[in-house]
Structure 1
Amino acid sequence: MKKAICKALKNLKHIQNKLNTPGENGAVISVLRDVEAVTISVLESVLSFISGPEAESKSSRWSLVLKLMHQKKVMCEEEQKANKFLSAEAPVRSCIKSENMKHVENVQKELQSSELSIQDLEEGLETFSRCMIKTRVIVLNIISL
């Protein structure tokens, strides 16, 4: 899974580098490029969060996203949940090695906690996608005028 995430991050970097190449001018194109850049930054951040600190790039884009979303609360929640995925991995490995019921219970608790974190992440992404759709509609309305 981490290899796939790293590959996706590299692909996003490649797309982002394409955005920086000079092309056609125009206000609409620049707005669409800005929207695309923000989307790529958010996807990079989500993939980096899921894969853990090992796959994170040196220049994290969360600060840009937080400035755009104006939600300081998100940063606090993300800092608290940053290692939920990694903390669930260790009990699963120990459960595989031993069949102790206590280990199984610990794994179940960690997996439930991870599931809640994933649900929170999905809700945040759903909200973000709705915001992006609204922005797209606004841009398309501006273009059609």
Structure 2
Amino acid sequence: MKKYYPIEKSESEWKEKLDPESYRVLREKGTERPNTGKYYLNKETGIYQCRGCGNEIFHSSAKYDSGCGWPAFTEPVSPDAIDVKMDYSHMMIREEILCAKCGGHLGHRFPDGPKDRGGIRYCINSVSMDFEKK
């Protein structure tokens, strides 16, 4: 059963709104190459937002250097900022992270984060986000 999100667009509307790489990741569940993303090494203070709809998803205070090659966070700005669903693609079992407002693919969640910060790692594609410096 397909989940409906508050922000719905046709595929042609998404293609018009997003650059090709952001479209591939957000709408086609792609991934960017490791160690290449715009926000991978970003250490500025601010809010990360879904590039598809502007939904606030992660605060910079939750970002840490996991060494995984993608921006990593310990928690979203709020539990209702994201959706989590099982992903069985590529012969793996993972938890996919989606924007709760537009359903855009953000990345995946893993149980190998810092133990002192909850033990969860949100591994997120830079091209699925925008950043608002505070």
TM over 0.5: no
- Higher Cα Rg, which structure: 1
Q: Which has the higher helix share?
A: 1
TM-score by length of 1: 0.23
State the TM-score, normalized to the length of structure 2: 0.24
If each structure's strand is expressed as a fraction of its own residues, which one has the higher value? Answer: 2
